[in-house]
Chains A and B, each alone.
Chain A
């Protein structure tokens, strides 16, 4: 008969009250775990999207982030092939790498001459096979097959544009883009109406501009390294929704050689970034340290800097911060409820067992023994509540994950299955269990202290 056994038996005395307390703790545990699992899934999804699109790390000109978007050709990496080769052969980095690939980002003006429409765009030249390899990164086991780039197997002048670009350039019809009505041309508000034959002639001339050709084509105007304008005629093979509207309205994807020809002509081609994708996100610190070491030795003199995906995508950190704040608020709320519930239960137990406390003290149990007894009861309540909460949360998460519910996470345009990542999230599970244990123990401490400080004679007289 040790203190824990005695504590357990005491909890069993008033089963209804103990069960009500356990139920409250279980509900609290479920809420924390399910919401935590939901957040984990969002964060992993965001991370997976960023890593698939832009890798874990990027080597860029050290001033590219500040000035490069305005003049990418001035902040390019000239000797990128040598740098990439050295990275791939580096004995420290090589085992961590899945893909090393160059990209060239630049701004320009895309136009549809036939429609008389144009707009500013952000173009990116990529190595398609490398991008497809990056899209296979799935460290968090998301279901479904990886997306294959629409540029795969396409000709050298092929391009993919955002659906917003397609809409503005009036390319929806040839690209078979749904939900993309042609712009309405308002009738003149002043003067008399056109004669019927004249308006029919005008309509025939304006309306089907895009259908005049089977191929959707755009002209992309950009400034070369010398500052002179250069134009590339690109064959648009697909318009893709890019998730974020601001990006969707400016995106033009193309093959890297074509982008380099547009910007550098016959000069030595450059890229704006070398993208490194690692096997695992937790390898970032080690890979960054090695790259910075290489920048000081092998690449000494090159004006390069290493940025990880979190620095390149501030939205990721902001989303993480927002969810952490919400999670923290909910957790504090639930912890407070558990704190008061367990405290109330233990207070009631102290009042009910006052004579028993006096008897134990008379027999020879020290104050610390009384304290230990009631704290043990709180600890046991916490352990049982945490165990019940964990088990229930795992079962509920499994049910929800198999229920077929869908939702549209931030940064996506299509709904995905609602998935709560509770199973396998050791940190979340152990953290929740530890917090519940601690909260239950702490909330039992004050009633335990009160019980220990009771005068023996007064306790024995208690009715």
Chain B
């Protein structure tokens, strides 16, 4: 069953007077509870596509339907609410709020949903335990290693139990060993939480973990491999 449908999406950026096509005629189906990787060289349009899927940007043409909701029809506030409840984000640079502890960073999206205090506490503690950071709950991001920060970011992305988690090059700023650990963790969390993960990455190890792999080049989809074809 498809969680996400992308129909004929085009996106062009303007650099002064020059139009730079970022995405051209993108058509894609992302299955539920799958680990999907967008792969391609730098400038191929991976991040642009992730931004459009996450409702952070709008396509010039085409439609993106997530869990039955066409994102283009949502107002700015509705889109923010939609992101809050249905989409989790993991960034290359972790993007944790530096003034909040690990616990508070994970808790923050739940505060926005006005979840009850007891439910918040239980959910945050569960997730911190799942990512192995119970002992570091009171630490500020500045007191954590890169791998630990990304674990906090993973917990934050999953805290509202979203149907879709978007991760933009999540291992790019980590060393190889930590990157492997983070990929394994995300894979485990994806299965445990029954969420769909969409990555942008050109890391072969990430591709090896993918259920589906989408290859982009110059803003176009050049190939799609389904059902863990890459690993096989």
Q: A457-B51, A460-B56 are in contact. Are A356 and B97 (CB under 8 A)?
A: yes
Cβ of B196 to closest chain A Cβ, rounded Å: 17
Query: Cβ of B84 and Cβ of A364 under 8 Å apart?
Result: yes
| Bound form: Cα–Cα A361–B79 in Å | 10
Chain B neighbourhood of A363, CB < 8 A: 83-84, 89, 108-109, 112, 156
| Bound form: Cα–Cα A362–B108 in Å | 12
A1 on interface, CB distance cutoff 8 Å: yes
What mask results when residues 59 to 97 of chain B are scored 1 for a CB within 8 Å of chain A, else 0?
000000000000000001100110111000101010101
A428 on interface, CB distance cutoff 8 Å: no
What mask results when residues 38 to 62 of chain B are scored 1 for a CB within 8 Å of chain A, else 0?
0000000000000100101100000
Query: Which DSSP category, helix, strand, loop or mixed, fits chain B's interface?
Result: helix
Query: Cβ of B54 and Cβ of A364 under 8 Å apart?
Result: no
- B26-34, B99-107, B144-152, B221-229: which lies at the A interface? B99-107
Cβ of B143 to closest chain A Cβ, rounded Å: 15
B21 on interface, CB distance cutoff 8 Å: no
B98 on interface, CB distance cutoff 8 Å: yes
B231 on interface, CB distance cutoff 8 Å: no
A-B contact pairs, 29 of them (CB 8 A): A1-B100, A1-B111, A6-B97, A9-B99, A9-B100, A10-B99, A12-B99, A13-B98, A355-B93, A356-B95, A358-B95, A359-B97, A361-B80, A362-B54, A362-B89, A363-B84, A363-B89, A363-B156, A364-B80, A364-B84, A367-B77, A367-B80, A369-B112, A455-B57, A456-B56, A456-B57, A457-B57, A460-B91, A460-B95
| Bound form: Cα–Cα A167–B85 in Å | 92
Chain A neighbourhood of B77, CB < 8 A: 366-368
| Bound form: Cα–Cα A86–B205 in Å | 105
Cβ of B20 to closest chain A Cβ, rounded Å: 14
A365 on interface, CB distance cutoff 8 Å: yes
Q: Which residues of B contact A (CB under 8 A)?
A: 51, 54, 56-57, 76-77, 80-81, 83-85, 89, 91, 93, 95, 97-100, 104, 107-109, 111-112, 156
| Bound form: Cα–Cα A457–B166 in Å | 14
What mask results when residues 350 to 387 of chain A are scored 1 for a CB within 8 Å of chain B, else 0?
00000110111111111111000000000000000000
Chain B neighbourhood of A367, CB < 8 A: 76-77, 80
Cβ of B127 to closest chain A Cβ, rounded Å: 15
Number of A interface residues at 8 Å Cβ cutoff, please give it. 25
| Bound form: Cα–Cα A457–B84 in Å | 16
| Bound form: Cα–Cα A460–B95 in Å | 9
| Bound form: Cα–Cα A363–B81 in Å | 9
Q: A456-B56, A457-B56, A460-B91 are in contact. Are A366 and B80 (CB under 8 A)?
A: yes
Query: Cβ of B99 and Cβ of A362 under 8 Å apart?
Result: no
Chain B neighbourhood of A360, CB < 8 A: 97
Chain B neighbourhood of A366, CB < 8 A: 76-77, 80-81
Q: A1-B104, A456-B57, A457-B51 are in contact. Are A365 and B97 (CB under 8 A)?
A: no
What mask results when residues 435 to 463 of chain A are scored 1 for a CB within 8 Å of chain B, else 0?
00000000000000000000111001000
| Bound form: Cα–Cα A367–B54 in Å | 17
| Bound form: Cα–Cα A391–B77 in Å | 42
Q: A1-B107, A456-B57 are in contact. Are A364 and B112 (CB under 8 A)?
A: yes
Query: Cβ of A364 and Cβ of B111 under 8 Å apart?
Result: no
| Bound form: Cα–Cα A355–B109 in Å | 17
The 4 closest A-B pairs by CB, nearest first: A364-B84, A9-B99, A359-B95, A456-B56
Chain A neighbourhood of B104, CB < 8 A: 1
Cβ of B71 to closest chain A Cβ, rounded Å: 13
Cβ of A229 to closest chain B Cβ, rounded Å: 90
Query: Whose C-beta in chain B lies nearest to the C-beta of A6?
Result: B99
Cβ of B160 to closest chain A Cβ, rounded Å: 8
Q: A363-B109, A365-B112 are in contact. Are A13 and B99 (CB under 8 A)?
A: yes
